[in-house]
Chain A
Amino acid sequence: MKPIRNLLLGATAIAIALTMTPAMAKTPDNMLVIANRIDDITTLDPAESFEFAGSDYSRNVYGKLVNFDPLNLPAGYQPDLATSWTVSGDGKTITFKMRPGVKFHSGNPVTAEDAVYSLQRAVKLNKTPAFILTQFGFSAENAEQTIKLIDEMTFSITTDNKYATSFVLNCLTSTIGGIVDKKTVMANEVKGDMGNSWLKTHSAGSGAYKLVSWKPSESLTLTANPEFYLGAPKMERVIVRHISESATQRLLLEKGDIDVARNLNPQDVAGASASSDIAIDSDLRGRLMYFSLNQKDKILSNPKVVMAFKYLADYKGMQNSFLKGQYTVHQAFLPKTYLGAIDDKPYSLNVAKAKALLAEAGYGDGFDVNIIVRKAQERIEIAQSLQNSFAKVGIKATLTVGTGKQTLSKYRSRDFQVYVGAWGPDYPDPNTNAATFAVNVDNSDAAKATGQLAWRNGWSIPEMSKATKAAVQEGDRDKRAAMYEAIQREHQKTSPFVEMFQKIEQTGRRSNVKNLNIGAAITAVSYWPVTK
């Protein structure tokens, strides 16, 4: 049987060859290798990018007028490409002074002209995230007048109303506030697209890193900008590899072939944390989980009943069981790390208290209620947990599970009793959530304010709406924060929203990787402070 003998020989040869390949080396000291899911990136243009992995990229490649310091996020926005700004008496015009001596990756100096161009460009292109700027009254038609060059290093923006300076500046820290290199971008303009199709796959920034290559759903490679104005980053190369499987990320991390794993599931976190070479970070993210009661319902609009429901969620129990490592108890509408966020947790599961409240309201024997929930595992589990705790006071809850579209359309048309939902902020300013959780001026069906969660729940709040709108205009950052704190405390007491959880994200890193900041709820990851 010659063939068999040859086969065996061949197989042995292959096996020997494989064993002889050099042992796997660790990642080099000047290189940061990250495993992440990056298949949500569809564009690298800061005027268009609106996904998580895209924000991670932009934060490291594009300087902004103001930005968050990764090592001190709670300090709020700090000067970045703008060193200072002044606000006009009517509170509508902000004049920025640019930082001298900063250069784009191309070598061109960063000037006010680039800042004006970048903001006008974002408004004129009017891509998905453009609303973050156009909410201040900028439009393609008025951009030339409202965003104006004053001299080489000075420019001003004029909003349509008086807004809190912190509101405008917070919005400028989001991806769309990235300042692009006008000369380079315009040199690559095609058919009046302001360089959009070129910038989708290229970079023209002044940040800590520049783009080497983006291979969709494969890898994103950045190289350090040695002339970065805060000093050359220690990690000379950053490679983000698209690894979609959590188990695969864990294997790579344990072998030391990657430095950071961004998408470990709770089981793999538990497994990987056993190794002394691996550290697990938990970071807060912006997403909130809540359930809400339709105030158009006769029983559910009774304030005592509303209060009873707030004592009928097993917050701790859910956090420590099926939501472990993914969500933490949070009971206010601003995610922690946002300006004005509070950490008060006045509610816990308290069946006796809920029972007493229901009895006072005249529903001591309970009632029937329907919960609508989207077909997603964690939401269904939350709804089932609620179903159990409701049953303890005689509230018989049925679940209606639907697709995202079905439940959302019921929610938007106010055709539901109890809704289990999630909410993610759109931009890093408290108004992004306040404007939806705490504003509802016209509660009529005809108003169709479907963008506002308060309206969807039929919750009429003329007073709180006024307070929220006043907070949008308060110029002083600290006073403004205090206003949001007060609104949230009132909201906790009276609103038909039972805020339950804030998302946390667990990141596995080799323990020699230091100063990696994922960006919490308000911003994205920063690579430049990282050391190994």
Chain B
Amino acid sequence: MPSFPPFILASFRIVLSILVTMIGLLFVTFFIGRVMPIDPVLSVVGESASLETYNAAYKALGLDQPLFVQFFYFLVDVARGDFGVSLLTARPVSQDLIRVFPATVELATVGTVIGVVLGVPLGVIAAVKRDSWIDQIARVVALVGYSMPVFWIGLIGLLIFYGILGWIGGPGRLDIFYVDMIPSVTGMILVDSLIAGDMSIFWNAVSHIALPAGLLAYYSLAYISRMTRSFMLEQLSQEYITTARVKGLSEHAVVWRHALGNVKVPLVTVIALSYASLLEGSVLTETIFSWPGIGLYITTALLSADMSAVLGGTIVVGLVFVCLNILADLLYKYFDPRAQ
């Protein structure tokens, strides 16, 4: 039996797990899409089409073929990098995804960064000062974050910060006269404007992303701070913490270096998952802020049975999950000396 270096074997295992996950995901999405009581033909031709027009479109969509044949053809196309053409936008799905996904990435990344920067310290402090007023406030903040409906808090936020105070930009990614003024390189306006060196567009983009990203950050902050708190509580009751304290280490070093150092490992997984769930796109946030992201794209497509678009979007979201999982695994090894 020929022996491969472990590095190749590991890569092979990763690729295989991605492939299996993706095919399973596509299989389920495809068949759910086909049994849904929505007629994709109607979204192409409209309600008042003649029977001839309807039948022509039915055939053109390949719906006269058996389901498994349709699925097979679909897989062949995907393997060739062809996700098909969206019924709703009349464009290749890959082109649509290149347009909508960066918008979501931008929003989710800013949201997650704020969520982590604020959420982790909040969780740590809440754990250290357990049952103090600061812990109570952290708890209320988190609970409110969990339970407030985004469409409400989003609209109120717009009303106050945009409508009354005028501190931030309104819905959309940019003010209307800045739209299309810089070349799209990454599709993320914050990055593109820096590349183009146009600071006025950058600051305009910041003023537009502040509120929606702030809202997403609030939700991930709520989750991350709760998880950090419980991880920290677990660590702080360990014997090595007592030992460290007995050895005369400062409380600061005990909490932030020793306890938090050990919390890093599970925390990475929590943050990765929370980031991944933001990358799926948030339909309500995207609707209220007219943010053309992937959540809205997939949902609209699903409601009109635009299966090419739904499946294309699913592939992207699936890949994101798989990749973030792998990344979390790698970071795990990096942070945990035992796993190296």
Contact = CB atoms under 8 A, between A and B. Distances in A.
Nearest to A258: B176
Nearest to B210: A18
Contacts of A130: 50, 53
Interface string A185-208: 000000000000100110000000
Contacts of B155: 245, 247-248
A27 interface: yes
B179 A219 contact: yes
Nearest to B290: A243
B125 to A, nearest CB: 7
A43 B206 CA distance: 33
Interface string B23-49: 000000000000000000001111011
Contacts of A33: 176
Interface in A233-290: 239, 241-245, 247-248, 251-252, 254-255, 257-258
A13 interface: no
B45 A4 contact: no
B292 A255 contact: no
Given A24-B175, A241-B290, A248-B288, A216 B89 contact: yes
Interface stretch (B74-82, B142-150, B161-169, B261-269): B161-169
Contacts of A7: 117-118, 121
Interface string B262-297: 000000000000000000000000011010100011
A74 B154 CA distance: 44
A21 B203 contact: yes
Q: Which of B87, B171, B207 has the most CB of A within 10 A?
A: B171
B171 A18 contact: no
Contacts of B290: 218, 241-244, 248
Contacts of B206: 17-18, 21
Contacts of A51: 46
In the complex, which of the residues B125, B176, B287 has the most CB atoms of chain A within 10 Å of its own CB atom? B176
B172 interface: yes
A275 to B, nearest CB: 12
Nearest to A451: B48
Contact of A21 (B91, B96, B170, B207): B207
B154 to A, nearest CB: 9
Contacts of A127: 45, 53
B299 to A, nearest CB: 10
A254 B56 contact: no
Interface in B66-112: 86-91, 96, 99
A239 B179 CA distance: 10
A1 B124 CA distance: 12
A109 B297 CA distance: 40
A50 to B, nearest CB: 5
B326 to A, nearest CB: 30
Contacts of B230: none
Given A43-B90, A251-B159, A18 B52 contact: no
A128 B163 contact: no
Contacts, number: 130
B177 interface: yes
B300 interface: yes
A45 B256 CA distance: 62
Nearest to B151: A245
Interface string A207-230: 000001101111101000000000
A426 interface: yes
Given A131-B50, A251-B162, A31 B177 contact: yes
Given A50-B46, A130-B53, A247-B155, A217 B292 contact: yes
B158 interface: yes
Contacts of B163: 251, 254-255
Nearest to B287: A244
B204 interface: yes
B88 A126 contact: no
A202 B230 CA distance: 56
Nearest to A39: B300
B64 interface: no
B166 A23 contact: yes
B171 A243 contact: yes
Interface in A370-387: none
Contacts of B170: 24, 248, 251-252, 255, 257
B139 to A, nearest CB: 17
Nearest to B54: A128
B67 to A, nearest CB: 23
A43 B90 CA distance: 6
A42 interface: yes
B56 A126 contact: yes
Contacts of B179: 219, 221, 239
A28 interface: yes
Nearest to A4: B121
Contacts of A239: 176, 179
A3 interface: yes
A31 B172 CA distance: 18
A3 B99 contact: no
Nearest to B214: A14
Nearest to A424: B48
Interface in A5-19: 7, 10, 14, 17-19
Nearest to B43: A42
B5 to A, nearest CB: 43
A245 B170 CA distance: 13
B180 interface: yes
B259 to A, nearest CB: 14
A131 B47 CA distance: 13
Contact of B49 (A28, A128, A200): A128
B287 A245 contact: yes
Interface string B1-36: 000000000000000000000000000000000000
A249 B256 CA distance: 47
Given A42-B44, A217-B300, A241-B290, A257 B90 contact: no
Contacts of B46: 50-51, 128
B292 A218 contact: yes
Given A42-B43, A241-B176, A216 B91 contact: yes
B99 to A, nearest CB: 7
A23 B296 CA distance: 30
A217 B172 CA distance: 12
Given A21-B207, A217-B292, A244-B290, A126 B175 contact: no
Given A130-B53, A257-B170, 12 more contacts: A21-B206, A24-B169, A25-B175, A50-B48, A130-B50, A215-B99, A216-B91, A241-B176, A243-B290, A244-B290, A245-B288, A248-B155
Interface of B: 43-46, 48-50, 52-53, 56, 86-91, 96, 99, 117-118, 121, 125, 155, 158-159, 162-163, 166-172, 175-177, 179-180, 203-204, 206-207, 210, 256, 287-288, 290, 292, 296-297, 300
27 contacts: A1-B125, A3-B256, A7-B121, A14-B210, A18-B206, A18-B210, A21-B203, A39-B88, A43-B90, A51-B46, A127-B53, A128-B45, A128-B49, A217-B292, A217-B296, A217-B297, A217-B300, A218-B292, A221-B180, A239-B179, A241-B172, A241-B290, A243-B290, A248-B170, A248-B290, A251-B163, A426-B48
Question: 3 closest pairs, A vs B, by CB?
Answer: A216-B89, A200-B90, A218-B292
